[in-house]
Amino acid sequence: MASCGAQPPSSEQAWLEAAQTFIQKTLCPSSEESNGQLTQLVIDCVKTVWLSQGRNQDFTLPLSYSFVSAQDLRTHQHHPCFSHLSWSSSEYQAWAKKAEPNGTPLPREQLILLGTLTDSLGDLEQDGRNGSLYVKDNTGVLGCELIDLDLSWLGHLFLFPSWSYLPPAKWNFSEEGHLELWAAPVPVFPLTISPDPLVPIPVLYPETASRLLTHGKPRVTQPNLAGNLVGLSALVRSQKKAYFILSLGRSSPAVSRVPVIVQIPGQLVWHRALQPDRAYVLTGVRASKIRGYRDRVWTTSPSSRLLLLKPECVQELELEESLLKADPTPLTVPSSSQNSSSQDSGRQKDLDRDSTLLHYGGTVTGVVNAPAGLYELDGQLGLCLAYQQFHSLRRVMRPGVSLKLLDVHLLQSVGGGTKRPVLATCCRGAVLLQSFSCQKPGNQCSHQAHGASLYEHLIWERHLGLPLYLWAAKALEELACKLCPHMLRHYQFLQHSSPGNPSLGLQLLAPTLDVLAPPPSTGRKVFSEILTEPHHCPLQKYARLQTPYCFPTLASLREEAERRAWASFEPKALLPLPEAAHLTSCQLNHRLAWSWLCLLPSAFQPAQVLLGVLVASSHKGYLQLRDQSGSLPCLLLAENQQPLMDPQLIGCLVRVEKFQLIVERNVRSAFPSWKELSEADFIRKRQARVYAQFSLTDALILPVPRAILYSATPPAEPRCPEGPHEGQSRLFLVSHKEALMKRNFCAPPGTSSEAPTPTFSFCVTGSWLGGTQRKEGTGWGPPEPQGDENEDQKVFLIFFGSSVRWFAFLHPGQVYRLVAPGPPTPAVFEADGSACRSQRPLELAGCVSCLTVQNEWTLELERSPDITDELSVNKALPESSLTNLLSGNSADSLVTFSAEILSRTLCEPLVGPVRKKPANTRATRRCVKLAVALEIAGCEFPPHLDIYVEDPLWPSLQGLLPGARVHFSQLERRVSRSHNVYCCFRSSTYVRILSFPPESTISVPLPTVHLAELLKGGQTPFQATASCHIVSVFSLQLRWVCAHCTSPCPQGRCILQSPACSTQTSVSQASIRLLVEDGTAAALVTCSNHHVAAALGLCPREWTALLESVRGPGRVALQFTGPGAQLESSAKDDEPLTLFLRTLCTSPCVLRPIVLAFELERKPSKITPLEPPRLQRFQCGEHPLLTRVNPRLRLSCLSIREPEHPSSLWASASSC
C-alpha cells in the first residue's frame, strides 16, 4: 500500500529505525518519553508471528511489511485490503480462490497493525461504551469486528496478525471504515490470568432464581446466578439506554430459564463474548422492576462480572425450605402487550399462519438490499435482519460471511413478490458472526448507501409485518431505480422521515401502508417481545400478502401496453362477419385503420401504479411523465372538469393509482376482402400511440425542491423555475387559444435565407392587464403606466420552438403572468414582428400587437384574489345556440359547443384525395370523422353531428375517444348537399377534454317511440326502436361488385378492362326499401347488406344460397310500383330467380310485424322545414274518404328482430 505510509525499507537497520519511529509516535503514551522496552517488545512480537510458520527463516524480520496506523488507514486507504503477517504468496492465493467464481478476493497489502483493543471511544472508562469494539492508537480509533472475544483482552496492546480493512462506500459520507480481525490478537505484554477463587462462589441455579422472584423482594441481596446460556437476545439500543437479555438454564429443556437484563454500559461488550451452550456465572445480580413490564426480573449491577462456570469453583446457595416448595410462576404476557392497541388486534385477526422458531447456521450468498437488511442465505433462503438493530453487523455482511442465528423465525409463502422461505430475526434472537468473507465488497450504488433510517422507520414506527415490509422494500428499490439519480437524489429520496418531514419514498407508499397497516398508537414493547412466554413478536404470526401493486418503469409500461394492444388486435373481432362480408377492400381497410384499447391498472397482475416527474415537451407541446427509463405522454384533468392550468406542476412527482392507459392503433393494411382477415401478411404497417389520462383528484402530487433535482447532463426539457431573481412580467387574459399544429413562420431579418420548415406552434389571443412590472424582492412592483388605461389592449401571442411547452396550461378565461427573466429591458413585451404575421388578420381580430414568446420566458398562473373573484363571476363555457347550430340561414360559420363522442373512424378526405409535400412526394391525406351527440341543456334526445378533422390537425390531438366529453370552440360549420349540418376543424379550433371515457360501458337500450312522434319537430331521438308492420317492398337490389374497384362482377369476374383490375375478388351487396307503418305514421326504411336478410325473413343458409344464385348474372334489381313487379332490362320476367324474389317480397314472410331499430336518414336540422300533412283520397267501398296524411319518414335500418309474440302464419314460413 504505497499510499498508506512510507515504502518498506530494504535493510534490517532501516526497518528497525522505521519501526522505532512508528512505535514511539503511535503506541507510546503521550505523557511518556521514548520507551525502549515497548519498542523491543513490539519487535519481538512481530518476529514471533513472522517466524511462527517456519517458512521465513532466511529473514528474521518482515522487511517487505510496513507499519500502519489507524489514521493512515482512515486517510489513505480508499480500497478494501487484507493483510496476514505470516502467510506466503501461495497461501494467500489458495485463500483467495475461496472467493471465486462469484466474487473478487480482497487484495493483499503487506502491513503491520498494532493497537489497543477496547470497547470505549474515549480515555475514560465510561466514554462511549455501547457494546462496540475498537482498535485505538495515538492517531485515532477504528471500529472493528472480532469472531470470539475474550473479555480479558480489553484494554491491552495487541499485534493483529491477520486482518482486513473496509473503507466506507464513496457515496456514504456518514460512515467510517472498519477492521475485521480474522485471528486471535497477539498481546505485546503478557496477559495476567486471574486465579481461581479460594472459596467456592455461592450461586443460584435457574429454577431456584425463578422461584425467588415470585416472593416479592428477594431476601438474598445481589446473589450470583449460574447456568448454561440457553438464550441470547439482540443488543437493543434506544435513545435512553442500550441493553440485551441473556437467559440461563440447565441442559434439560424441561427446566425453566431465567432471563437477566444487562444494561450497564461497561457490560454491553459481554454480548460479543457470550457463546451458546457454554456455562457462565453472573455475579452481583439484583431483582428489579422494569417500566412497562409487570413481573420482576434479574438485572446486573455495576459490580457484576461474567465468569466461565467451573463446577469446582461454585457452590449452590441453600435457601429456606418454604421458598424451595413454592411453584414458580411462569412469565406471562402483560395485559398492556396483549391489547396494545385496537389497530394491533384488528391487524392480527386475519393472520392465519405461525412462524417456526429455530436455530440456523449458514453462509451469506447474496446481498438483496443492504439498507433494508435483506440478504440471501445458502442460495435458497431469504434473510431479514431488519427487525433487530444490526448497525455493526451490516458493515461486514457480504457474500461469504458465515452466521449463526439464534431463535430465528422461519416464514414460508409470505407473498408480496417473495417466492422463497425467509428467515427473520426478532429482538429475542441473536446473530453471531462465525467467519468473515474473503470477498471484496461489491461496488455499492448510491441507493444502497442510503435509506437505512427509512427502513428502520417502517419497522420500529409503522410496525410492518414481514410480508408487507418485504413488499415495501422492493417497492422502494423499484422507485429508486425509476427516479434516481437523474431525476432525484438518492439521499433525498430515501432520507429519514420525521413527523413533520416525511421522506419522498414514504409519501409514495403511504396511501397503501395507511390501509394495510395503519400507524399504531403505541410503540414496540421490546422487553415484552424478549421476555414473555409464549413468545409474542411482529414475526410470530403472518398472512400471505397479495402484492398490492408495483411501480413499473414508464418504458416497460409502454412496451407492455403496446404488446397487449397488438396481441388483442383481431380484425375479425373489430369487423363482425355479417357486416364485414359485404364491405369492399377500401371500406374494410378504412375500418381497420384506427382502433383503440383502454387498459386499467386492474388489467395488470399485480396492479400498476403510474409514477413519474411531470414535464412539458418542448417539441410536441404535450405533457409527459418521465423517469430514468423514458417518458410517457399524459392527459390531465383538474377538479370539476377543469383543465390543467398551473405551470408550477412541472417538476412535481406524480403518483396515480387510478388511470387509463390508452393505446391508439394505426394500421395500414391491404386486405382484399373479409376472407383474408386472419392473414397478417396483408398488414403493411402498424404503429401504436400510447398515453395515459387521469384526473388530478386521483393523483398524489408531491412538490420536489429544485435543489434536489440535478443531472449529469443538461436537462432535455426546460424546467419551470421557482422564480427569477430579477426580471419583468406582464399579466394577460386569454380569450382564445388556437390549435397546436405545424405552421410556417418567417425567420427574423438577417437570419438564414433558407425556406422555413413547418414547426409545432400555436397562437393565443388575449388582452394585456396593465403594464409591465419589475421584480421587487419576492414579489412584483406596480405596473408601468400605459397610454390609455381604458383602451382594451388586445395582443396576439405566438408560441413556437421551446415555448410550445406552455400549450397544455393556457386556457381561455384565465389570467397568466408572462415572465421575462434577466435585467430589465425597455419594451420587452412590445410587438416584435419576428413572425412576419400579416397585419390584416390582426386588424380583423382587433389586436394591436403581435408578440413572439421567447424560449427562456416562463409562464405563471395569476392567483391574485381580485382577479380570481372577477373571473369567478362567469365560468360557464361559451356555447352556440341550437338554432344557430342547425339552421341554414345563420351568418355565424364558427360554432362552439360541448358534445360526447359516439364513434371515431377514418374516412376519405373532404377536399381531394392527395396533397403534395415539400419533397414533392404524394401522400394520402388523412381524415378522421367524429360522430358526436350535442350536450344541450334540458334536451332529452340530443342531436347528432359529424365533425371532420384533417391533417395536420388531428395527429397532435389526445383524448378524442368514443365516450369522452369534449368542448369544441370555433369549429367551422358547413351544410352538405343533402342538407345535413357537419363541422370541420380549423387551425383556430380550440379543444378541451371535459371527461374521459367511462371505465365500463353500459349498453343503454334505444328508446321506443311511435313513428308519429318523429314528425313533431321538437326533441326527437336520432336513433330509436318502433314496433311496426311492413306494408310493402318498394325496391330490392342484389349485386356482386369487385372488392377493389367496385365495378360489377358477373360470373365473379370484374368487368374493368383498361386498366385491368388487379384482383378478381368480389363481394356481395344488397339493399331494400320498405314501407312500414305503426298506426300513427308511415316511414320509408332503407336496409343494407346483412339487414336485407332480416327484412326478407331469411336464415343465414337461405341468404347465402340466394346471394350465390345472383353471382351468375351479377345483379338483380326489382322496382315495386304496384301489385306486381316491373323489372329492369337486366332481369327477365320469366327467370326463376326473379319469380322467386317477386313472390317472396309480396308474401307474409316479408309483409309481417317487426321490431325495427333505426336512425334518421338525415340528421335533425332546421335547414329544411318539416313537410306539412297532405290531403289524400281513399276509397272505402262505395264511399270516398278525404283525410290528412302525414308525410313519410325516411329511416335507415339498424336492426330488425321479430316481435316477442309473432303470428304462427309468418313464423312457420320464416323458419329454415
pLDDT tens readout for residues 1091-1137: 999 999 999 999 999 999 998 888 999 988 654 444 443 455 568 88
947: which 3 cell numbers? 365533425
- Residues near 512 by Cβ (< 8 Å), separated by ≥ 6? 548, 549
Query: Which one-letter DSSP state was computed for residue 149?
Result: -
How many other β-carbons are positioned within 10 Å of the β-carbon of residue 8? 17
Q: Which residue has the higher pLDDT, 618 or 1071?
A: 1071
Query: Above 60 in pLDDT, residue 235?
Result: yes
Query: With the CA atoms of 36, 39, 40 and 43 taken in that order, what torsion angle do they form, in degrees rounded to the nearest 10?
Result: -170
Task: Give the CA angle between residues 1011, 1015, 1017 to the nearest 5°.
Answer: 135
Whole-number Å distance between alpha carbons of 401 and 379: 13
- Average per-residue pLDDT for the chain: 83
- Residues near 138 by Cβ (< 8 Å), separated by ≥ 6? 25, 26, 27, 28, 30, 69
Query: Would you place residue 494 in the very low, low, confident or very high pLDDT band (cuts 50, 70, 90)?
Result: confident
pLDDT for the residue 891 = 59
Q: Which residue has the higher pLDDT, 485 or 669?
A: 669
Query: Above 90 in pLDDT, residue 418?
Result: no
* Residue 442 vs residues 79, 298, 390, 1060: alpha-carbon distances, Å: 11, 44, 20, 72
Query: Would you place residue 753 in the very low, low, confident or very high pLDDT band (cuts 50, 70, 90)?
Result: low
Q: Are 654 and 610 in contact (CB under 8 A)?
A: yes
Query: Above 50 in pLDDT, residue 841?
Result: yes
DSSP string of 153-174?
Answer: GTTEEEEESEEEEEPPPTT-SS
Could you give the percent of the chain with pLDDT greater than 90? 47
Query: Would you place residue 858 in the very low, low, confident or very high pLDDT band (cuts 50, 70, 90)?
Result: very high
Alpha helices, H only, 256-350: 270-273, 321-325, 335-338, 342-348
pLDDT for the residue 748 = 52
1036: which 3 cell numbers? 330490392
Query: Which one-letter DSSP state was computed for residue 601?
Result: G
Residues facing 1092 on adjacent strands: none
717: nearest Cα among 487, 957, 482 = 487
Query: With the CA atoms of 286, 291, 296 and 297 taken in that order, what torsion angle do they form, in degrees rounded to the nearest 10?
Result: -50
Segment 220-246 mean pLDDT: 89
Q: Are 363 and 400 in contact (CB under 8 A)?
A: yes
Query: Would you place residue 318 in the very low, low, confident or very high pLDDT band (cuts 50, 70, 90)?
Result: confident
Query: Above 90 in pLDDT, residue 634?
Result: yes
442: nearest Cα among 367, 352, 332 = 367
520: which 3 cell numbers? 399504531
**Encoded amino acid at 740, one letter:** L
Give 92-97 contacts, CB < 8 A, sequence gap 24+: 95/438, 96/438
30: which 3 cell numbers? 503521550
Query: Above 90 in pLDDT, residue 667?
Result: yes
Whole-number Å distance between alpha carbons of 477 and 630: 18
Q: Are 458 and 512 in contact (CB under 8 A)?
A: no
pLDDT for the residue 1127 = 44
Alpha helices, H only, 988-1134: 1090-1096, 1100-1110
Segment 518-535 mean pLDDT: 83
For residue 999, count CB atoms less than 10 angstroms from its CB and return exposed for 0-12, middle for 13-18, buried for 19 or more.
Answer: exposed
Q: Coil, strand, or helix at residue 611?
A: strand
Could you give the percent of the chain with pLDDT greater than 70? 82
| pLDDT (tens digit per residue) in 1037-1066 | 999 999 888 888 888 888 887 777 877 788
Whole-number Å distance between alpha carbons of 435 and 995: 64
Whole-number Å distance between alpha carbons of 1134 and 1140: 10
| pLDDT (tens digit per residue) in 68-108 | 999 999 999 999 999 999 898 899 999 999 888 888 999 99
958: nearest Cα among 645, 648, 658, 740 = 740
Segment 450-474 mean pLDDT: 89
Segment 894-908 mean pLDDT: 90
| pLDDT (tens digit per residue) in 757-776 | 788 889 999 999 888 999 88
Query: Above 90 in pLDDT, residue 729?
Result: yes
Whole-number Å distance between alpha carbons of 708 and 962: 41
How many H-runs (helices) and E-runs (strands) does the chain carry?
A: 26, 59
Q: Which residue has the higher pLDDT, 178 or 723?
A: 178
Size (the chain), residues: 1216
Whole-number Å distance between alpha carbons of 1050 and 1110: 9
Q: Which residue has the higher pLDDT, 839 or 1006?
A: 1006
552: which 3 cell numbers? 413499473
1070: nearest Cα among 1051, 1045, 1095 = 1095
Q: Coil, strand, or helix at residue 392?
A: helix
Segment 503-507 mean pLDDT: 87
Task: Give the CA angle between residues 133, 135, 141 to the nearest 5°.
Answer: 100
pLDDT for the residue 921 = 40
Question: Model pTM greater than 0.85?
Answer: no
pLDDT for the residue 1004 = 82
Q: Are 64 and 1 in contact (CB under 8 A)?
A: no
Query: Would you place residue 875 in the very low, low, confident or very high pLDDT band (cuts 50, 70, 90)?
Result: low
pLDDT for the residue 723 = 53
pLDDT for the residue 684 = 92
Q: Which residue has the higher pLDDT, 957 or 204?
A: 204
φ and ψ of 208, to 5 deg: -70, -40
Alpha helices, H only, 83-224: 89-96, 206-213
* Residue 627 vs residues 611, 621, 632, 958: alpha-carbon distances, Å: 8, 18, 9, 21
Query: Would you place residue 197 in the very low, low, confident or very high pLDDT band (cuts 50, 70, 90)?
Result: confident
Query: Above 90 in pLDDT, residue 36?
Result: no
- Strand 1153-1160 and strand 1023-1042: the pairing is antiparallel
| Mean pLDDT lowest among 41-45, 259-263, 425-429, 997-1001 | 997-1001
Q: Distance of alpha carbon 271 from its chain centroid, rounded? A: 44
pLDDT for the residue 324 = 54
Query: Which one-letter DSSP state was computed for residue 944?
Result: E
Q: Which residue has the higher pLDDT, 189 or 743?
A: 189
| pLDDT (tens digit per residue) in 388-407 | 988 788 889 999 999 999 99
Helix, strand, coil content of the chain in percent (nearest 5)? 20, 35, 45
- Residues near 200 by Cβ (< 8 Å), separated by ≥ 6? 312, 313, 314, 315
Query: Would you place residue 939 in the very low, low, confident or very high pLDDT band (cuts 50, 70, 90)?
Result: confident
Segment 1163-1187 mean pLDDT: 70
pLDDT for the residue 296 = 86
Query: Would you place residue 889 in the very low, low, confident or very high pLDDT band (cuts 50, 70, 90)?
Result: low
pLDDT for the residue 30 = 65
Q: Coil, strand, or helix at residue 969?
A: strand
Query: Would you place residue 171 in the very low, low, confident or very high pLDDT band (cuts 50, 70, 90)?
Result: low
Q: Coil, strand, or helix at residue 206?
A: helix
pLDDT for the residue 270 = 95
| Mean pLDDT lowest among 495-499, 656-660, 699-703, 1037-1041 | 495-499
Task: Give the CA angle between residues 187, 189, 195 to the nearest 5°.
Answer: 90
Q: Which residue has the higher pLDDT, 1165 or 1153?
A: 1153
φ and ψ of 132, to 5 deg: -90, 160
Whole-number Å distance between alpha carbons of 370 and 547: 22
827: nearest Cα among 906, 872, 768 = 768
Segment 1073-1083 mean pLDDT: 91
What is the enclosing helix (H) or strand (E) of 70? helix 70-76
How many other β-carbons are positioned within 10 Å of the β-carbon of residue 575? 19
Q: Within 13 Å and on the Cβ side, how many CA atoms surround 1062?
A: 4
Query: Would you place residue 332 in the very low, low, confident or very high pLDDT band (cuts 50, 70, 90)?
Result: very low
pLDDT for the residue 485 = 77
Query: Above 50 in pLDDT, residue 916?
Result: no
The winner for highest mean pLDDT among 744-758, 1105-1119, 1200-1214 is 1105-1119
Q: Are 871 and 815 in contact (CB under 8 A)?
A: yes
Query: Would you place residue 922 in the very low, low, confident or very high pLDDT band (cuts 50, 70, 90)?
Result: very low
Q: Are 557 and 692 in contact (CB under 8 A)?
A: no
Q: Coil, strand, or helix at residue 1093?
A: helix
